[in-house]
Chain A
Amino acid sequence: MKNILITFILSVFLLGISSCDSILDVDPLFTEDAESFFNTPEDYERALIASYDLLQTSYLTSWIGEMASDNAIAGGESVNDTRGLHDIADMNHGGVNDELQLIMRYNYTGIARCNFLFEARGQLENLPNEDRIYAEASFLRAYFYFELVRYFGDMPLIIDRRIGIDEATQIDRAPASEVYAQIERDLLNAVEHLEWTNPTVGRVTKGPALALLGKVYLFQEKFTQAAEVLDRVINEGPYSLLQFETSEEYTAMFTVNQEGNSESVFEIQYTGVQGGSFDCFVCLQGNISPGFNGIRNFVGPIYAPGFSYNLPTENLYNSFDPNDLRRDGAVLNIDAFIAAQPDPSAISFSVGGGGHTGFYNNKYIQRQNELGLPDQRLTSPVNYRVIRLPDVYLMAAEAHNRGGGNDGLAQQYLNNVRERVGLPTVNATGTSLTEAIWQERRWELAGEGLRFWDLVRTGQAAANIEGFQVGKHELFPIPQVEIDLAGGNWQQNPNY
């Protein structure tokens, strides 16, 4: 008995000591591994969806493009509320700016997700729709790189592959011209392989690819090429200008009901059916912008309360011709709105410590009939109209006017945009036509996040933005943290 027991105990120990290390070779349950992922066509589609995901972070550009310009102030609960935006609005931004860091992080994440897909190209033979999948991915990568090059100028180019943690500290910034060249290559590929329409609402088509390409050419002042591709959008695309009689009609173009209207060339898709929290904006499927732009503490008709961000300036409001229905279509004058209601005393709202102008962004604003799941200020279902047909018309007008000298066509495009809102035609030519086109862009595209870039690329920023320093503020500073994390070898942008 005793011997048996001792033998048993000792054998247990021997078992324990002898190599059982292999029991530690377990795999995680029910999760997929990055290294062996692409096995079916669905895998490619799913990886593509993840690349689209980062488009939704464009809410940040829709703010910065306004706040950095003469169109809007930052607003919010206090001057510390999203400090980075206040610094940008005050032209006081430096190397410590969380929002600029997010711009960099979000867009490189989008690029990395596209590259994950490109890396796997050819791994599966006879992948159906391969050209379309890669055309869409090309568009997305170009979109993300265009964001980066607009904000920061020279930026590292990582193409068709993932990089490791060590390599991330050794990559140099590529000249902006190389970044632009890559963007053009990607967009040309997208144009070649995409159709004008896609039965799936939300997928990129040929129109957005051409329009973005035109914009990219325009930013580089390649007017001839810009005019050529933008004309194609106008002439060949399934888009048409609408006609507006009232401010309300114009505003309605930006509501959920008119998503995908005939003026809308490219929309970023959002939905209100998934809730969200403040912990993770990148996780959201809703649009933050309307809720944050909303009227603080508002109690009254039509609108719903928000956080009083991105408040239009009096300067913008007063720049409009009072007869321009787009003034009240694009900008909500809160005092006038309340006064016009049947019972003004029943309406209340409050101002935030981050500033008050009396105006709100009427294109992207929290409305009662467009709420999402809690927290509803994060989950607006309203799509962001990134490229609208009037933008394409005005870009084309500018390209013809500044490039080829085809002022007649430029005039026509400009007047097409004006006539649809009941404004008289413009007969100017030459530089005064250029001025008129630029002015029209401010009115037509107010509140859509384009103003700052227009001012910078046309050299008008210093004249219009208080505190703007030529030779400095054309580019945003690269977040110092990112310079350090990338090995500390990059030169900060000039004068920061």
Chain B
Amino acid sequence: MKQTLQVLTVLLLCFHLVHAQETTISGTVYSLEDEESLPGVSVTVKGTTIGVTTNIDGQYSIDVPSDANVLVFTFVGMVKEEVRIGNRSTIDVYLSPNIEQLSEVVITGYGGQTSRKELTGASVRVDSKEITQRQVPRLDQALQGAVSGVSVTTNSGSPGGSSNIRIRGISTSGDNNPLIIVDGVIYDQAGLNALNPNDIESVNIMKDATAGIYGVRAANGVIIIETKKGKKNSKPQFRFDGYYGIQETSNQLDLLNASQYAILVNEAHLAGGRPLPFPNTQLGEGTDWQNEVFQQAPIQNYNFGMSGGSDKTTYDIGGSYFGQEGIVGGPKANFDRYNARINFTTELAPKLTFTNVMLFTHERTRTLPENGIGSVLYNTINAYPTEPLRQDDGRFSFLERVQDIINPLAQMENTFNQSIVNKITGKQELAYQINDHLKASGRIGYNYSMVDFDQFSPLAWFGPGKAPNTALNENLDPVQIAIGDPDEGGVLIDRGASVFESRTTFLDYVLEGFLNYDRTFNDVHNFSATFGVSFNEVTSRSLSGTAFNIPNNSIDLANVGANQAPGGFLNNVGGFRGIQRLYSQFLRAEYDYNKKYLFSSVIRRDGSTRFGPNNRFGYFGSGSAAWVISEESFFNSSVFDFVKLSASFGVVGNDRIGDFAWRGLLNGVGNYVFDGVIQQGVAIGRASNPDLRWETTQHTNLGVDFTMFSKIDASVNYFIKDTRDLLFVPDVSALLGSFGAGGFPPFVNAGTVRNQGLEVDLNFNLIERRDAGLSINYNFTYLRNEVLSGPDGFDFIPGSPFGVGGEIATRFQVGFPIGYFFGFETDGIFQNQAEIDNNPVTQPGARPGDLRFVDQSGDGRIDFGGDSDRTMIGSPIPDFIMGMNVNANYKGFDFSANIFASIGNDIVRNYERQQPFANRLEYRFDRWIGPNTSNEHPRETVGSTRNTVFSDYFVEDGSFVRLRNIQVGYTFPNRTTQYLGISNLRVYASSINLLTITGYKGFDPDIGGGGGPLSQGIDFGFYPQPRTFMGGLSLNF
């Protein structure tokens, strides 16, 4: 054996000597991604012109001079690899795909696509990898911090809760949702729940006027989502992904314990001249309501798929299950989703391609009351700690001292609802390649969804005088209702448990035909065009019923058919139908000269039933251009590899108002009671406006894209987005008489909102090697929002209320951001009576320990009855948002982290019930108790005080930095897994929302505005996003 080795060594040395002048090196080049060999790869000796390319099997053989050190492997779409030769004669190389390359495909709609290099507008693509990496239930959550210009705020952290996606700011007091198109089918924001993020191939976001190809619906931007498709001529590939995790609340509030609470309540009563409720304040910790309400809850996702293709057909099919329980309420607040999906493309005949997309979704959601006065968390915060969780008899306690707060656990126990959505989404498309340059496509896309909602309201008793009581007393006896006059043949009947059931079906479809033309003249004149027509109809119908006296007060019998209501009294039914149509033609033309000078323009004509006959049709268009400077012959830079300037301008529309909003319909409510029975009258609903038209958004975008040192990609855009003719429901004069039930003023077009800002996307591909990689993506968005004008006689639109009693905290007003906070500015606290007496400003009712308000009007008096001393005290819109995404891998290990930051937004602390016996946050313990004890927190009192008027005392800085996701994975080496028939096996552990840095006192600073643009940043005890720890695996075979 030893001898043999010696002989071999000698032979090798000889060999080396013989070929001292020139060495032949051979090997195979593979793609790192799928481990297939790569033909056509260029192999050169660094510093020389010696080069070959790989053959059909990816093999090469090259003669290199003896002094050569490095071989360079280059291939389009792959990262350039430089390999030291050493004394090897066989060198196999794996090339990794260049993820952020400029050749990345960006979809522009209606069969159009371009590359980032040739893009003339402001569009951006997010890849499937970036989405799946984040392991979030909904796509919108994956977009937070992913790219600039897209703001995602959460409406609720509850399972199935939605987000607000805002592209380049908020531009209207109405609907700001972007248009979402999945495989050519229109989705609404809520519909995103039906999508499994793992099924998504790419997300394309059109931010500027080039979205004008979608015309009257594109004003808020367009999101085009493509789901995964198979590849031609590939073997069937199976994949499985699954994870399981545990969620917990990311934050708990610092609330007073029983002793602290008793001290403060006593103090408040003393100040208000009332007897002390707690003779003994040594009450210990008391009940920690948050501990009782928050729980750990599971989250899980399993996803199975198969894809492949022959030379005529490709397919990608899959199924998935996602399940999430709530950190509040567990199974009472959960979301389950089952998905089945078939994507199938085949050549039916030469040049005739058929594409079929089918998605079936079954969703099941349960919710608890949230995000408002009376929600579970609002009750949890305000429930006082001196009350035990349960009474001696085992029932949940009543919290009798605060009438408007109920025991949150009793509330959860008595909440029963369920929403089931069954939805089929499909698209069938035929494309015919007429000749080399012309392609015709016709398609139908549709959504059919059936939403079944059930809600059971058992007889419940939350304590004396509680508003949500449905029973007469704690024995759960039913309330008796008089039908007619009992003296004249009327009857008294029991009102027992009730159930509400509704079924709403939605059908929408879009029929589209378009021609794509693409031709190059004289090798340098590239011309393409798209022309098409589109017809869209959305219909809905609903039937609902409420039935009373469900037997046994039992959820098991809770359906409308089981009701025992005498004579059917009390029971009632409802229903509605809706219809809307949109009919459009569009044309897009693009030209470039040798990929150096690029031009694109779009025009679209839209007709919509949403608008009056006088303004039914609109024309929208845009033009854009780009100049790739780096293609110029004079361009010579060792720093910049690529430089492009681009500009776009155009107008798009927003049609998001209700159907037939322009018509005066008799859908007002005018009911009155005759003979003790409600009589239905008719009244005019919304007043008519036949001139009603769409909102128009004018986009201006200037951009520069460049690549430096082959490692840094940058994209910088400056934009101005003016939205005019806002669809406004103005405050109209009382004289119009439109303020009855179901009556509304007409919609009018008036007002302008401007959003302007700067977007920066930076990509650093710091290390790109076969066994190691490091890339960092950073994006930054600066945005300024201002209402520029409103209709004549318009002062402001009142927004969201603060506290109880109708004080309005937010406004839409000229000269201010949308939904800014309007209230008193404070200037510390009156420390003693002398300060009040010597204050040049009279503040009615002020006492030592009260907040000192600023006299904005300068009239020497704080005017609590008017608005003259109220001013802007905050804005819910951040000054800037940032995202940072880090990806690293070494050998089999990978690591990723997503960080999101929102800076400069304010939040209104509106979850404190300002009542003597409601619990308080711990900061209240630092209140004023005598001269110079506090200049921040006012005194406690149950007496009359203006300290609870809406002021900056209740406005907090809501800035935060959050580690959205951090993940560590390990991919087993191929050689160990292939014995199991597995081509790829990766395991990972990750955490969502592991860390949040913020000064905000509430549960969660990432708070959207579920109630619309004027209720952003108002915190009613927001359902926080959970912190999740999960482990998972993905395997391919």
Contacts of B272 in A (CB 8 A): 351
Q: Are B748 and A34 in contact (CB under 8 A)?
A: no
Q: How large is the interface on A (under 10, 10 to 19, 20 to 34, 35 or more residues)?
A: 35 or more
Q: Which of A94, A171, A348, A374 contacts B400 (CB 8 A)?
A: A348
Is B982 on the interface with A (CB-CB < 8 A)? Answer: no
The B642-669 residues at the A interface (CB cut-off 8 A) are 659-660, 663-669
Q: Which of A26, A55, A162, A376 contacts B467 (CB 8 A)?
A: A376
Segment of A226-234, A267-275, A419-427 engaged in the interface with chain B: A267-275
Is A48 on the interface with B (CB-CB < 8 A)? Answer: yes
Is B949 on the interface with A (CB-CB < 8 A)? Answer: yes
Is A334 on the interface with B (CB-CB < 8 A)? Answer: no
Segment of B386-394, B801-809, B871-879 engaged in the interface with chain A: B801-809
Q: Are B676 and A285 in contact (CB under 8 A)?
A: no
Q: How large is the interface on B (under 10, 10 to 19, 20 to 34, 35 or more residues)?
A: 35 or more
Q: Are A77 and B667 in contact (CB under 8 A)?
A: no
Question: Taking the nearest CB of chain B, how far is it from the CB of A471, in angstroms?
Answer: 19
Q: Report which residue of B669, B731, B737 has the largest number of chain A beta carbons within 10 angstroms of its beta carbon.
A: B737
Chain B 728-772, CB-CB to A under 8 Å as 1, else 0, gives 000111111111111101101000000000000000000000000
Contacts of B845 in A (CB 8 A): 79
Q: Are B672 and A78 in contact (CB under 8 A)?
A: no
Q: Are B579 and A353 in contact (CB under 8 A)?
A: no
The A1-54 residues at the B interface (CB cut-off 8 A) are 1, 5-6, 9, 12-13, 16-17, 20-21, 23-24, 26, 28-35, 37, 43, 46-54
Is B614 on the interface with A (CB-CB < 8 A)? Answer: no
Q: Which of B465, B682, B746 contacts A37 (CB 8 A)?
A: B682
Is B570 on the interface with A (CB-CB < 8 A)? Answer: yes
Is A375 on the interface with B (CB-CB < 8 A)? Answer: yes
Q: Are A28 and B670 in contact (CB under 8 A)?
A: no
Question: Taking the nearest CB of chain B, how far is it from the CB of A123, in angstroms?
Answer: 15
- Inter-chain CB contacts under 8 Å: number: 321
Question: Taking the nearest CB of chain B, how far is it from the CB of A446, in angstroms?
Answer: 24
Is B675 on the interface with A (CB-CB < 8 A)? Answer: yes
- Which B-chain residue is minimally distant from A371 (CB atoms)? B479
Q: Which of A13, A282, A350 contacts B401 (CB 8 A)?
A: A350
Q: Are A282 and B740 in contact (CB under 8 A)?
A: yes
- Which B-chain residue is minimally distant from A111 (CB atoms)? B737
Segment of B19-27, B33-41, B555-563, B684-692 engaged in the interface with chain A: B684-692
Q: Are B665 and A109 in contact (CB under 8 A)?
A: no
**What is the bound-complex CA distance between A81 and B949, given in angstroms?**
9
Contacts of A395 in B (CB 8 A): none
Is B14 on the interface with A (CB-CB < 8 A)? Answer: no
Q: Are B736 and A269 in contact (CB under 8 A)?
A: no
**What is the bound-complex CA distance between A271 and B570, given in angstroms?**
13
Q: Are A165 and B732 in contact (CB under 8 A)?
A: yes
Q: Are A34 and B684 in contact (CB under 8 A)?
A: yes
Contacts of B660 in A (CB 8 A): 28
Q: Are A280 and B733 in contact (CB under 8 A)?
A: no
Q: Are B440 and A9 in contact (CB under 8 A)?
A: yes
Q: Report which residue of A47, A53, A97, A110 has the largest number of chain B beta carbons within 10 angstroms of its beta carbon.
A: A53
- Which A-chain residue is minimally distant from B578 (CB atoms)? A29
Contact of A285 with B673 at beta-carbon distance under 8 Å, contacts A17-B585, A96-B867 already known: yes
The B870-913 residues at the A interface (CB cut-off 8 A) are none
Is B638 on the interface with A (CB-CB < 8 A)? Answer: no
Q: Are B865 and A108 in contact (CB under 8 A)?
A: no
Q: Are B731 and A485 in contact (CB under 8 A)?
A: yes
Q: Are A29 and B434 in contact (CB under 8 A)?
A: no
Instruction: Classify the interface of chain B: helix, strand, loop or mixed.
Output: loop
Q: Are A202 and B674 in contact (CB under 8 A)?
A: yes
Is A216 on the interface with B (CB-CB < 8 A)? Answer: no
Q: Report which residue of B668, B734, B735 has the largest number of chain A beta carbons within 10 angstroms of its beta carbon.
A: B734
Contact of A26 with B579 at beta-carbon distance under 8 Å, contacts A101-B734, A282-B741, A353-B942 already known: yes
Question: Taking the nearest CB of chain A, how far is it from the CB of B834, in angstroms?
Answer: 24
- Which A-chain residue is minimally distant from B487 (CB atoms)? A257
Q: Are A96 and B733 in contact (CB under 8 A)?
A: no
Is A169 on the interface with B (CB-CB < 8 A)? Answer: yes
**What is the bound-complex CA distance between A414 and B607, given in angstroms?**
72
The A144-181 residues at the B interface (CB cut-off 8 A) are 156, 158, 162-163, 165, 168-169, 171
Segment of B185-193, B312-320, B914-922, B969-977 engaged in the interface with chain A: B914-922
Q: Which of A165, A201, A269 contacts B689 (CB 8 A)?
A: A165
Q: Report which residue of B740, B915, B944 has the largest number of chain A beta carbons within 10 angstroms of its beta carbon.
A: B740
Chain B 583-617, CB-CB to A under 8 Å as 1, else 0, gives 10100000000000000000000011100000011
Contact of A104 with B579 at beta-carbon distance under 8 Å, contacts A13-B533, A77-B915, A271-B678 already known: no
**What is the bound-complex CA distance between A30 and B485, given in angstroms?**
34
- Which A-chain residue is minimally distant from B667 (CB atoms)? A31
Q: Are A52 and B483 in contact (CB under 8 A)?
A: no
- Which A-chain residue is minimally distant from B400 (CB atoms)? A299
Contacts of B676 in A (CB 8 A): 201, 269, 271
Q: Are A33 and B948 in contact (CB under 8 A)?
A: no
**What is the bound-complex CA distance between A30 and B687, given in angstroms?**
18
- Which B-chain residue is minimally distant from A101 (CB atoms)? B734
**What is the bound-complex CA distance between A305 and B406, given in angstroms?**
14
Is B302 on the interface with A (CB-CB < 8 A)? Answer: no
Contact of A24 with B684 at beta-carbon distance under 8 Å, contacts A6-B434, A202-B673 already known: no
Contacts of B583 in A (CB 8 A): 20-21, 23-24
Contacts of A200 in B (CB 8 A): 674-675
- Which B-chain residue is minimally distant from A53 (CB atoms)? B670
Is A95 on the interface with B (CB-CB < 8 A)? Answer: yes
Contact of A353 with B948 at beta-carbon distance under 8 Å, contacts A50-B668, A374-B470 already known: yes
**What is the bound-complex CA distance between A102 and B608, given in angstroms?**
36
Contacts of A1 in B (CB 8 A): 349
Is B535 on the interface with A (CB-CB < 8 A)? Answer: yes
Contacts of B734 in A (CB 8 A): 101, 104-105, 108-109, 482, 485
Q: Which of B274, B664, B666, B748 contacts A351 (CB 8 A)?
A: B274
Question: Taking the nearest CB of chain B, how far is it from the CB of A182, in angstroms?
Answer: 15
Is A470 on the interface with B (CB-CB < 8 A)? Answer: no
**What is the bound-complex CA distance between A202 and B678, given in angstroms?**
11
Contact of A485 with B793 at beta-carbon distance under 8 Å, contacts A96-B867, A201-B485 already known: yes
Q: Are B805 and A484 in contact (CB under 8 A)?
A: no
Q: Which of B668, B672, B733 contacts A485 (CB 8 A)?
A: B733
- Which A-chain residue is minimally distant from B870 (CB atoms)? A96
**What is the bound-complex CA distance between A355 and B581, given in angstroms?**
56
Contact of A98 with B806 at beta-carbon distance under 8 Å, contacts A299-B464, A351-B274, A371-B479 already known: yes
Contact of A280 with B741 at beta-carbon distance under 8 Å, contacts A47-B683, A77-B915 already known: yes
Q: Report which residue of B352, B495, B681 has the largest number of chain A beta carbons within 10 angstroms of its beta carbon.
A: B681
Q: Are B735 and A31 in contact (CB under 8 A)?
A: no
In addition to A16-B535, A104-B734, A305-B464, 8 A-B residue pairs with Cβ atoms within 8 Å of each other are: A1-B349, A34-B664, A53-B671, A98-B806, A110-B737, A110-B740, A116-B683, A351-B916
Residues of B near any A CB (own CB < 8 A)? 272, 274, 349, 352, 400-403, 432, 434, 440, 442, 464-465, 467-470, 479, 481-483, 485, 495, 513, 515, 531-533, 535, 570, 576-579, 581, 583, 585, 607-609, 616-617, 659-660, 663-684, 687-689, 731-743, 745-746, 748, 792-795, 803-807, 844-845, 863-867, 914-917, 942-946, 948-950
The 10 closest A-B pairs by CB, nearest first: A112-B737, A50-B670, A305-B465, A49-B681, A16-B533, A81-B805, A50-B681, A50-B683, A105-B739, A52-B672
Residues of A near any B CB (own CB < 8 A)? 1, 5-6, 9, 12-13, 16-17, 20-21, 23-24, 26, 28-35, 37, 43, 46-56, 76-83, 87, 90, 92-98, 101-102, 104-106, 108-113, 115-116, 156, 158, 162-163, 165, 168-169, 171, 200-203, 256, 269-274, 280, 282-283, 285, 296-299, 304-305, 348, 350-351, 353-355, 371, 373-377, 381, 481-482, 484-488
Q: List 25 A-B contacts (CB under 8 A).
A: A9-B442, A17-B585, A20-B583, A23-B535, A23-B581, A24-B583, A24-B608, A26-B581, A32-B666, A32-B667, A43-B682, A50-B670, A80-B949, A82-B806, A87-B864, A201-B676, A202-B672, A203-B674, A297-B402, A297-B403, A299-B465, A353-B916, A381-B482, A482-B733, A486-B733
